[in-house]
Every structure is written in C-alpha cells, then in structure tokens.
Structure 1
Amino acid sequence: MKKLLSFSLWLLANGLFAQPSIKLLLAQPFPSNLTASADGKSIAWVLNDNGSRNVYSASGDNFKDAARITGFEESDNGIDISELSFTPSGKHVVFVRGNTPNTQGYAANPAQLQMETGRTLYITDLEHGRDFRKIGAGYAFKIAPDGRSIAYLNASQAWTASLVDTTLKPQPLFKVRGTVGSLRWNLAGSKLAFVNTRGDHSFIGIYDLESKSINFPDPGADKDQEPVWSPDGNYLAYIRNPLQINDFLFAPRRTGFPWSIRVINVQTGEAKEIWKADEGKGSVLVGDLPAMENKLLWAKGQQLIFPWEKDGWVHLYALDFTKKTVRPFTPGNGEVENVTLANDGETLYYACNIGDINRRHIWKVNINTAQSEQVTKGDGIEWSPVPTAVGLMLLHASAQKPAWPALHSNGSFKDLATAFSISDYPTDLVQPQQISIKATDGMSAPAQLFLPPNHKAGEKHPAVIFLHGGSRRQMLLGFNYSQYYSNAYALNQYFALKGYVVIALNFRSGIGYGLDFREALNYGRTGASEVNDLIGAGEYLRTRADVDPKRIGLWGGSYGGYLTAHGLARRSDLFAAGVDIHGVHNWNKIIPTFNPGYDPLKHPDITQKAYESSPMFFAAGWKSPVLFIHGDDDRNVIFSETEDMIKVLRQQKVPFEQLIFPDEVHSFLLQRSWVKAYEATFEFLDRHLKK
C-alpha cells in the first residue's frame, strides 16, 4: 500500500497528477493514546493505518527502536483500539480492543465481520515482540499498584483479573445497583474508589478488598464524580456537581448552583466540603474541558489541582489541602485542554491555546512556584504531552502535515517511527488564514479561510463553508488533534486545491474562545443563534470579488449537518447545495439520546422552543439540492433524523441524494467509509456548484 502511495506521490511531483486524491490526503496513519512507562524509558501509542489499528512501542536511545507490538490483521476492519497503559514494571502494555455496544447491546461492526467485535482486554509482553494475550471482555480498566491484577468494567459492573496467573479466570469484583465507573486504586492496592451512578444522582463508593465490603461515606442527591486518592491513601477527594433545573444539553448555561470539592477522611469516614466555586462565572462545572481522565489531580505537598472557569476561561488552579488556599496556574486568554502531572508530583504539562488562540501548544508549570513556561511555540499544533526520561513526548501537526508522534527536546522536534508514515505526504497544501465573520446579529465568529493555489484577485471561484460538529469543537490553523476533524481539514484542503474558496467556520457555542462564546445566548435548542454566524459567513462570501455568489455550498457533520440543514432550509437563495452528514434535524428527538430524563411531554415550553430552533421547523423553505450521508448504527444522531428529513423533502419535491452505510457509527470506523463519504461530498458539491 505504502509503495503504491509513494509511486502516486512521485507522479504528483513530476506533474502527472494535478492534485493529490482524497484517498491520499486521508492516508497518513493517525496516532492516538500516547503513553509512557513509569520510569519514562518506554512509550506506546496506537496507529490507525487506513483502518488497520495496532499498538506501537519505542524504547532505547531517544526512542529510536520503534516497532509494532501487536499483530492484528492489516486490513480495514473497523475494530478500535484504546486505553493503553503500562504495567508498573514497564514490561507490559494493557489495552482495549473492540467497539462499544448500541442500546440493543450489539457492538459496532460496520465490516460485518463474522466474529465478536465487543470490547476485550489484552496484555502485551514488550520483551517478547508481538507476544500478547486476551484477558477477557472488558473496558475502563485500572492496573493495581503492584501490577499483578486489574480492576475493570464489564457491562457497567466491576470485575477483576490476574495479569500474572493465566489459569485464573476473570470474575466479578463486586456488584451494586446502578452502573459503576471511574475505578481508582489507592496506593496500597487495598481499596478501590468508584462512581456509582443511579439515574440523575451518583455516589462515591469505596470497595475494601480485604473485607469485601462496599461503603458510601458521603451519599447525596447530586452528582458526585472525579474521585482521586491522596498520595498517602488517607484521603479521597471528589467533585460534587449539583443538579440544575432543566439541565438538558444544547442550551447555554453560564451560571448555576456552584459545584464543590469534598474530601473523605478514609480512617474516620468524615466527609466535608473544602472548596466551593463562587456564584456567577465558574459556578457551572465545564464538562468538555479539560479533556482529562480525572478533573482532579492530587499533587505533591497536599495540592489538589482542578480546572475552574472563574475568569471566563478554563484554567488550572491549586487548592492547598492544608491551608485551604487557592492559586491560579495558567493565566491568559485561552483554555487548557490536555493535562499531565509528571511523576515528580509537582510539574504540570498542559496543552492550551493561550497566546495562540487558533492553535494548541504545550506549557508547563511548577506547582511550588506557580511559574508557567511555554514549551513549544511556532505555527504548529501540539497536544498530548507525555514526560519521559529523555524529553517530552507529544503529538503534533501543522497546516501541511497531519498528526505524528515526536520527541521534543532542546527546543526541537524529532519525529519517531517514521518508517510507518507516508514519507512523501503532500507538502504543498494551502496555508489557511485566520479571519473574522460578522454574524447577522452583529456578533463576530472566528473562521479559517482557504484560498486556491495561484489565487488571483477578482477571479471568480465557487465556495464552500465547512461546519464542525459538537458543538464543543474548534477548527484550527492546521490538521486537528481529533481524527474526525483531521479528516475534515484534509477535505477542506482538497476543495481549495480544486479551485474553491473555503471557510471553516468556528460558530458560537464552540470551544476555544471562552465562556461567553461557548455558552452563547439562545444557541442550540433555545433559539439556534449560531445560524446567524452561518448566514453571516455566506453573506461575507457573496461580497468577495473572488467568489461567484451563485455558487456557495455547505457541508458538515453532526452539529455541522444540523447547521447545513438550517442553511438550506432558511436560505436556499444564498446556499446553492449542501452535504448533510449525520445531521440533527429535530432537537426533541436528539436531546433524549444525551439526556434520557428528557420527556417532551413534560416540558411543553422547552419542547416548543426546541422545535422552533430545529431545521425541521423551517423545512418548507428548503429548495436547494442536498446529499445525506449517515451510518444506520449511529449512537449520537439517531438514523431516523435522516429518514424524517428525507420524507419531508421528498414530499416537497426537493432534489436529494443519499449515501447510507449499514452498521456504521457516528465517527466512521472504516477508512473506506471516510473515503467514500468524502469523495461523494466533493463530487456532489462540485457537480452542483460547477454548473
């Protein structure tokens, strides 16, 4: 495969191909799950190589010795790999292979494999190459401190398995009503903290392995979450997130009942609140940021590290457990996204957009001095910092280069395992420009502008607007840290290379620009105010001298499909065609997916406003042709959303086409699904906009 791609690129370099294909632009293997051993001498990560996922590892001098350590079949089979973790000795890596189940209990299987595709635990032996074995069905595991066993989840209950005795079968660890999550060992490995969710409320539980007993030291009627042990194991801290009134997603929540941090004295069982957010800004716990396994970290010197949005940006703070004082760590306009506490217990590494709002860079801060230092700079994008014995491991990308693992040392990057990459990936891609769009209600929305190569002022081009999903997402000035949006960035590049003026719109309710932008008034189900940004972007394109105002199209997935549908339904005079990929069309059908307690019949005022904020409400004005793309095992946006809109458009005799992927999920698992969807997206828009 790689030889064929290299030959294709040779043809491109010699002018025999005008531009790279969509398949080629999506072909670079995508890295994820970067992690390191406790001694920092070994690293591991997952590569998704055109649909074939395997675990890779590197060790030795500057991690030169990189190898694939699992031998799963090299084919586009749609089976995911995640949750990499080294055992304490650094000699083994435990991981999960397999896909999540839908509401009927069926694990995703878009390749229709005649085998079980559910989540399964595996352990590798780094000293013996590709020697790895299956542990059993499970996920969300935690390795015991002595490395001899693991606790994990199976069907939302706690199980355990031995990592050293292959004759012992996995068995339930304990059973409890409701569902179990967030398993956390104490340092001695004698107790296991967990979150027990029971409908709208959740408890922090502690399981004692010696007495085989469960204790709920501080039960309440709210959502207790994010448990973390003190290093000495004497205390357990956690967040109490109060229930809010009508707390349904896709609506602005700028203030609410303040959340708090509580601590349990494990010896006495006493529980008490040690910190509480102020009223006003920061009173609502941000669910999307930072993107870390646990929002509380217990650092050296009895310092509890936590995120807070007190100044309108998600920053890190340190709570001195003894003195009950709070110190900010990450000042500046920007938001913290990835956080890693180094093994010394006092150095925090974090990825953020502070100082470079449309990219990501790595910073570090010492919790004793609170002095922050920017580690990576420039026009690249860096994330997933992992400190090692020889330097900082990270993932990075740029405007021309997709994500890849690298060692950052002495101010420079050294890509690792380059033998597994496409060595001649196109380097002459477009450098997007940052612009600001004036929405129709006067608000400003950031966006990236892609101009075709050899662009000439005044020469008319067709144009497209890309709309991301989420909506808690941010498109950047380069390849994204998420594979979904890395792929989307690649297609935006392809449109530009084919002569299109392209806008990637960061509409309100997305992340990266602070609380007021993310929690924009009247967004989502409360008024769809973000449509003003979209229409403003269309009006902006229509006035550009280099854009044909009659040839402006839309494309996007999920929330981006929702906005694509809004644009076509409300302004078919402005938007000539669109591609709606697993888009939301009626809020009242989608909200229950994320908020099972939402009953439209019990909330008539919310229900009515949600419907009036939906594309379906405006469907009578839809005239422009559209292509619908959807997998029918989508667990985020139910498939009937596409079915329902097709019924309406068919009745109205609006031209539409459809591309349906049987058994495919929201973020496509098969590489061929991405390629086919994106080839169809370009072909459809090109056919309608080049007329």
Structure 2
Amino acid sequence: MKRSLFSFICFVLISSFTQAQTKEITLEKIWGGEFRQDYLESLQSLNDGQSYIVQNFDREKREMTVDIYSYKTGKQTGTLINSADMALPYFETFQLSADEKKAILGVGVESIFRRSKKAVYYVYDLSTKKLMQIDEAKIQQPSFSPDNTKVAFVKRNNIFVKDLNTNEVIQVTIDGEKNSVINGLTDWVYEEEFAFVKAYQWSKNGEQIAFLRFDESDVPEFSMDRYGRYGQDLYPSQEVFKYPKAGEDNAKVSLHIYDLNQKSNLDVKLGNYEYIPRLGTTQNENTFSVQTTNRHQNELKLYHVNGKTAQANLILTETDPAYVDVTDNLTYLEDNSFIWTSEKDGWRHIYHYSADGTLLNQVTDGNWEVTNYYGYDANSKRIFYQSTETGSVNRAVYSIKINGRSKRDLSIKTGTNSASFSADYTYYINTFNSVKTPNVYTLHLAKNGKLVREIKNNSDLIQTLEAYELSDKELSTIEVKGNKLNMWMIKPKDFDPNKTYPLLMYQYSGPGSQSVSNSFFGTNDYWYQMLANQGYIIACVDGRGTGFKGRDFKKVTQKQLGKYELEDQIEAAKLLGSRSYINKDRIGIWGWSFGGYMSSNAIFRANDVFKAAIAVAPVTSWRFYDTIYTERYMTTPQENASGYDENSPITHVDEFTKGNYLLIHGSADDNVHVQNTMQLIEALVQANKQFDWRIYPDKNHGIYGGNTRLHLYTLMTNFINNKL
C-alpha cells in the first residue's frame, strides 16, 4: 500500500514536471527567432588552400574586419583587412583581387532588385593601406582587371575603366540611358530568370572587355506605386521599369568587345538567337565563351569568341523538345577542353568535351541527377559534385576521375549533404542535415573524405527544441496516376489512428522544384508543428513537373503549366482523404507564388475536394508573367493561347461554388505583380463570389519587414482555424 502511494506521488510529480517543461510553439517565437539555426559564416578560401577568410563586425569598437582562419585548426591566424586602418568607419562588402593584394570595398550598399545593388566603392591596397575611391557616385559591379592595375564598373548604364596607377578613366560606352539602353548589366528579366547581373567580362590577358548591350526601347514599361509611411509621405512615388511579359518584345541583346589598347569597339555576330544567358572566358588569353538560346529556349549554343577579331566559332549545340536549362556548370581545363552538364540521356550528368566540342566521354551516368557541380582538381584529375544517388530526397557528395572511374562517396550520412572546397581542393567543409538533425558542419580531406574536425553542430538549437512537443516529419511516397510521388507528413504529437483530423496540404509545384526532401525544419515547419499541436495533419506532395526525378518527370508539364500538377494534388488529396484518420470533408491547401497559383486553381476547380485554400502572391494568369520563365515552359500566348487560359484561375471563377479562399499579395511585388491579384479580385467580384483578401502595402514578393511576417502568419492561422 505504501509502495503504491509512493509510486502514485512520483507519477504525479513527474507528470507535473514534464508538463511544466513542455513549451508551446507560438508565432511570436517562430518569427522572433526562437528556433533560428546556427549557420556557418560566409567564408572564402584563400589561394593557398590552407586558409579562409570571414568578414566580421565588432559592435563595441564599430570596426569591420576580414579575418584569416586556418582550415585545419579553425583558429584565427591574422587579419587581412581592418576598417581601423583606413578612413572608412566600416565597409559592407569586399572582393579580393586575384593576387589577394588589393580589395574592392563597398559602402552605402543600396539594393535595386533581387540580385542587383549599387554602392560607393573603394580600392584598398593591403600592403600600403592606401584607399582610393573609384567614383564619386554610386556605381555597380566593379571588378579588377586580371593584372589588378585597372577596375571596370558600370555607372548610369555605361561601362567605365579606371587605371589605378594614373587615375585615368576611360568611358567604354556612351549610349546608356535608363529604360532605354543598358551596357554591362542585365535587364530585370535576365537578373530574375538567368540569375546574373554583371554582363561584362575581362579577357584573360586584360586587353579586351566583352559586354552585353540591352536595347530596351521596345519593351513595355511596368509601373508600381509606393505609398510610403503615414506622416512622412504625402504623395505616393512611382517606380517604372521595363518588364517583358509573355509574348511581348524582349530587349534586343547584342555582344560587343572593347579593345583597351585600340580604344575601339567590335560587334560580335552570333547568328540567330533571342537570349545571351552566359558570358565567360576560356583558358586562351583572349578567347571568350558565350552561350545563346532561342526564344523557346529549346536550343542552347556554346560559342568561342576571339577577342581580337570578334570571330565566333560554334562549339556545341544542345537541343531538347521542351527546353534546355541554363547552368553555371562549365569549366575549362588547361588544354581548353571543358566540363559540361546535360540532361540529354534523360538525367542531368557530367560530360567532358574537347576544345572543339567533340565528346570525349560521359563522366557520370545512372537513373539519378547531378544536382551541384563543385569543380575540377587538375592535380588529382578529379571532379567534385553533389547528386541524388542515394534517393531523390537526399543529397550526397562525390568525387570521380575525369575518365568516369574511381568514384568516392565523400558524404558523412544519408540525408542532405553539401560541400564547400578550399581553393586547391585539399579540404572541404561538409554541411549535413536531415529531417531529424539540424545543420552539422565538419571539415574533411578532399582526397578521401577523412574527418579532420567538427566545426559546429547546432547543439543549442537541439537543447532548445527538447522543451517543445515536436512531431516527426515523416518521409514516404504516395502513388498517383502510376507515379510514386515524394511526400512528407506531420501529425499531431498525440496522434490517435482511431480519430479523424483535418488536413492542410502545402505545395509549391513549380518546374524543377522540390519541397519534399530529407532536410531539417525551415521556418514554415515550426508553423506546421504549431498547427499539428492544434489538431491538424500537415502534408506536402511533390507532383509531376517537380525536379530531381529525371527529365521526363519534370518536363511532362510542357505547354500545360498547372494542368498535371493540379491533377496530382487533387488525386493526392483524395487518396489521403480516404485514410481512416483524415477527415475528407476538411482538407485545405495553400502555397506561395507558383504554389498560390496552384492553390487558387484547386479551390476553384476542385472545391468538392478542398474546403479551404490560401494563395500568397500568386500568378493568376501566365499572360502576366515574364517572357523568359513563362515561355520556357509554355511557349508564347500567341502560339499556345489555350494552354495559358485553360489553366488560369481567372478562367475558372464561376466554378468556385463553395469553400473558403484567402488571397494575399504585396503591393510592391516587382516579380509577380499585384495586377495578378487585382484582376482575379475583379473576376471574383463580377462573378459575385465571396472570399477574403489582404494587400500588404509596399511589400515585395517576399512580404516581409518589421512585423509583417508575424501579421501574415497570424492572418493565415486564424483563417485555417475559422474556415478549415
């Protein structure tokens, strides 16, 4: 009797202690940084391959430094740059010259679009500690010449070159004008869709500069109001920029070469093309590599261009019935042969070509994809890459001989591995995470993957999470229309298979994307955990059109963007709804951007399956989106009107007969314009369909800043609780 009473008291005490220790996930904690992962600082390898540098800021001293660390020990061995040694209070950005004797420092950095920025830039001599301002105005994309005696930069859409010894400035182009002509920089659509801004390139010998010229004269303008802050801005301001929407005129892009000795410009003839998505150099001192593609983007050509004569030689042509992806996976070896990646056998793999474009061999092969190309080590003759060889939801790191033999697995565990290599490929830092493990950073020898030391392991986050009720993020597959689709699911912590739960589905579904992976929680996952603790099941299914399962799986959606993706989400919802523990009458779906496009179509066209939907910053008609992205998958509206209109949510508002819909957008979204939402709103109003909507003033596609994300997720949480 005494023992039973004692046991009961212990049970009560332990239960009370456990309950007291369990914390509740809240939106305030999620967006207040409670669950923030510890990341490795952005580091850059020095030429010696034994050291790396990191930019640090001392808040007490108000000093910015670039400090040197040893790969092997992780200890600081010196300081390369210190703002205390110069007449600048601090600098925001830096880039070293090739010989690591000078640096370009950026001050007063001002963002323009997703990747572009302008700033006041200085050249800093590391030995003399002398500082030279490149130009009095804010400029863009400064870069050293190969011998570090000159700096090229772009100001007001024109290219300039400054001689660092004489201070002489040469103006390379003179016709640059806002919303008319751009020299040496990309336009909005290239920056967004081809992911680069700097559109000029020094030759290896520094005697020529190849650059792109964008004539935007015929590109329609897009205007966007900014409303400002109450009490500060009486009138809105307007931002006007060139934005080519599907089927409209693109900028006319041409390639030119400026000779610094002759002070002359040469025009380069590249045959018929629409886009020049890449510009680089080969191993020859005055030969450039240039890639072009047609408007449908199903034919990609690689040229070698002589910098002295402007003669262009076609080296390689890639074709695909759908489209050819543009990548940065091009490396020239000493003999000017080159490494390239292609999907031509149905999966993305590595190929080795001779200098004249003759295929030497296919380096990798198999029913898996190369997902990242890290580089080539000439000493060991090994290529380093990341792939899906351990499964499409996983990532592993490998090295392989250029002849395709002697492959080595450099990963530490099954999950998501990525690598950052030292300049001479002596070391690499492996970043590992999985659904159960936050980022672990470890240093290894590149030659065999041997562990040198652990750098960081996020133990503080693990300790923080121990106080919360977290459910497993379960990875599985679900068979839809003969395809095994990757899926994750989060169930309530006290899940009871004999009960039924409402289901919220998340998806993105964009071409080549992946939302289901063996990786640790992102910010949204904590929101899903919070919802799970409130009694919801959360699931995500990657349907047809998403990536890393081969060319055919990805490109089946060609010319019918949204059709097969929607079919898969509807069928997956039905299959999940047939499970005994899911209430088929309480299924919701949400997504952002492409995912918002999908969730809008889902509630309009399948409200017998979905009870509620949330669409954040959605495309509502591909007619409103840009040329490069949209036409890659849909061709033009003039060629494929039915593909555009039959899959547009605006076309299907009359089918929205029941269910609940929340539509959200930022008014300053330069990517997916708020016009998408406004035209859908008007269609819904005229069809007399009731729904909820919210516009966030002056917020871009990310809808963030200040308290915005907390407000947004509070809005969505309340909607789910009230409507689902």
Tell me which interval the TM-score lies in, with the shorter structure as reference length. 0.7 to 0.9
Normalised by the length of structure 1, the TM-score is: 0.77
Q: Would the aligned equivalents of 2:104 and 2:124 in 1 still touch at CA under 8 Å?
A: no
* 257, 267, 285: which one aligns with 1:233: 285
Instruction: Find the structure with the greater CA-based Rg.
Output: 2
Residue 97 of structure 2 corresponds to which residue in structure 1? 87
Residue 37 of structure 1 corresponds to which residue in structure 2? 46
Residue 458 of structure 1 corresponds to which residue in structure 2? 498
Residue 27 of structure 1 corresponds to which residue in structure 2? 36
- 1:180 lines up with 2:184 in the alignment: yes
Distance 2:570 2:696 in 1: 30
Matched to 1:519, the amino acid is K
Distance 2:354 2:52 in 1: 33
Residue 144 of structure 1 corresponds to which residue in structure 2? 145
Residue 76 of structure 1 corresponds to which residue in structure 2? none
Q: Deviations over 1:390-410 (max 9, x none)?
A: 620354433245557653444
What SS does structure 2 have at the residue aligned with 1:644?
Answer: helix
Distance 1:355 1:598 in 2: 29
* 426, 431, 435: which one aligns with 1:399: 435
Per-residue deviation at 1:306? 1.5
Residue 569 of structure 1 corresponds to which residue in structure 2? 604
Q: Would the aligned equivalents of 1:399 and 1:479 in 2 still touch at CA under 8 Å?
A: yes
Matched to 1:495, the amino acid is L
Residue 78 of structure 1 corresponds to which residue in structure 2? none
Residue 426 of structure 1 corresponds to which residue in structure 2? 465
Q: Would the aligned equivalents of 2:439 and 2:458 in 1 still touch at CA under 8 Å?
A: no
What SS does structure 2 have at the residue aligned with 1:436?
Answer: strand
Residue 550 of structure 1 corresponds to which residue in structure 2? 585
Q: 1:610 to 1:458 in 2, by over 3 A?
A: same
What SS does structure 1 have at the residue aligned with 2:292?
Answer: strand
Per-residue deviation at 1:446? 2.4
Per-residue deviation at 1:670? 3.0
Q: Would the aligned equivalents of 2:440 and 2:456 in 1 still touch at CA under 8 Å?
A: no
Q: 1:239 to 1:522 in 2, by over 3 A?
A: closer
Residue 327 of structure 1 corresponds to which residue in structure 2? 361
Distance 1:598 1:333 in 2: 23
- 1:195 lines up with 2:195 in the alignment: no
* 512, 515, 519: which one aligns with 2:548: 512
What SS does structure 2 have at the residue aligned with 1:552?
Answer: strand
Distance 2:633 2:556 in 1: 22
What SS does structure 1 have at the residue aligned with 2:586?
Answer: strand
* 20, 23, 32: which one aligns with 1:17: 23
Distance 1:589 1:495 in 2: 34
Distance 2:648 2:694 in 1: 23
Q: 1:637 to 1:269 in 2, by over 3 A?
A: closer
- 1:209 lines up with 2:213 in the alignment: no
Distance 1:197 1:285 in 2: 23
Q: 1:327 to 1:342 in 2, by over 3 A?
A: closer
Residue 339 of structure 2 corresponds to which residue in structure 1? 305
What SS does structure 2 have at the residue aligned with 1:645?
Answer: helix
Per-residue deviation at 1:531? 0.5
Per-residue deviation at 1:89? 4.0
What pairs up with 1:63-102 in 2 under 5 angstroms? 63-65=74-76, 85-90=95-100, 94=104, 98=109, 100-101=111-112
Matched to 1:335, the amino acid is E
Distance 1:67 1:465 in 2: 51
Per-residue deviation at 1:308? 1.2
Q: Would the aligned equivalents of 2:139 and 2:155 in 1 still touch at CA under 8 Å?
A: yes
Per-residue deviation at 1:451? 2.8
Q: 1:149 to 1:268 in 2, by over 3 A?
A: closer
Q: Would the aligned equivalents of 1:316 and 1:329 in 2 still touch at CA under 8 Å?
A: yes
- Ranges in structure 1 where 5+ consecutive residues have no aligned partner: 1-10, 48-53, 73-80, 109-116, 248-255
* 382, 400, 406: which one aligns with 1:365: 400
What SS does structure 2 have at the residue aligned with 1:216?
Answer: strand
Distance 1:71 1:556 in 2: 45
Matched to 2:698, the amino acid is D
Residue 468 of structure 1 corresponds to which residue in structure 2? 508
- 1:531 lines up with 2:566 in the alignment: yes
Per-residue deviation at 1:69? 10
Q: Would the aligned equivalents of 2:472 and 2:490 in 1 still touch at CA under 8 Å?
A: yes
Per-residue deviation at 1:638? 0.6
Per-residue deviation at 1:413? 8.3
Name whichever of 608-617 and 54-63 sits farther off: 54-63
Matched to 1:59, the amino acid is Y
Per-residue deviation at 1:25? 5.9
Matched to 1:19, the amino acid is I
Q: Deviations over 1:649-669 (max 9, x none)?
A: 445565533343322211345
Q: Deviations over 1:451-488 (max 9, x none)?
A: 333433233222111112644321243447xxxx9434
Per-residue deviation at 1:19? 3.5
Per-residue deviation at 1:498? 4.3
Q: 1:574 to 1:59 in 2, by over 3 A?
A: same
What pairs up with 1:617-656 in 2 under 5 angstroms? 617-622=651-656, 623-650=658-685, 654-656=689-691
Distance 1:210 1:13 in 2: 77
Distance 2:439 2:122 in 1: 26
Name whichever of 380-389 and 566-575 sits farther off: 380-389
Distance 1:143 1:415 in 2: 36
Distance 1:604 1:331 in 2: 39
Q: Would the aligned equivalents of 1:42 and 1:63 in 2 still touch at CA under 8 Å?
A: no
Per-residue deviation at 1:319? 0.6
Distance 2:462 2:75 in 1: 17
Residue 69 of structure 2 corresponds to which residue in structure 1? 59
**Aligned length, in residue pairs:** 625
Residue 5 of structure 1 corresponds to which residue in structure 2? none
Distance 2:485 2:678 in 1: 32
Distance 2:642 2:76 in 1: 60
Q: Deviations over 1:127-159 (max 9, x none)?
A: 89x999986634445433234544344455434
Q: 1:318 to 1:43 in 2, by over 3 A?
A: farther
Q: Would the aligned equivalents of 2:622 and 2:648 in 1 still touch at CA under 8 Å?
A: yes
Distance 2:65 2:540 in 1: 33
Q: Would the aligned equivalents of 1:362 and 1:385 in 2 still touch at CA under 8 Å?
A: no
What SS does structure 1 have at the residue aligned with 2:315?
Answer: strand
Per-residue deviation at 1:35? 3.5
Q: Deviations over 1:174-209 (max 9, x none)?
A: 346654343222332222233344546644432222
Q: Would the aligned equivalents of 2:396 and 2:414 in 1 still touch at CA under 8 Å?
A: no
Per-residue deviation at 1:546? 1.9
Per-residue deviation at 1:334? 2.7
- 1:657 lines up with 2:692 in the alignment: yes
Residue 650 of structure 2 corresponds to which residue in structure 1? 616
Residue 537 of structure 2 corresponds to which residue in structure 1? 501
Q: Would the aligned equivalents of 1:263 and 1:271 in 2 still touch at CA under 8 Å?
A: yes
Q: Deviations over 1:258-303 (max 9, x none)?
A: 43332234466543223333x657x84213xx4x3xx422123322
Matched to 1:144, the amino acid is S
Question: How high is the sequence identity, in percent, across the aligned residues?
Answer: 18
Q: Deviations over 1:93-138 (max 9, x none)?
A: 6577756546xxxx99xxxxxxxx953265697989x999986634
* 280, 284, 304: which one aligns with 1:263: 304
- Ranges in structure 2 where 5+ consecutive residues have no aligned partner: 1-16, 58-63, 84-91, 176-180, 186-198, 216-249
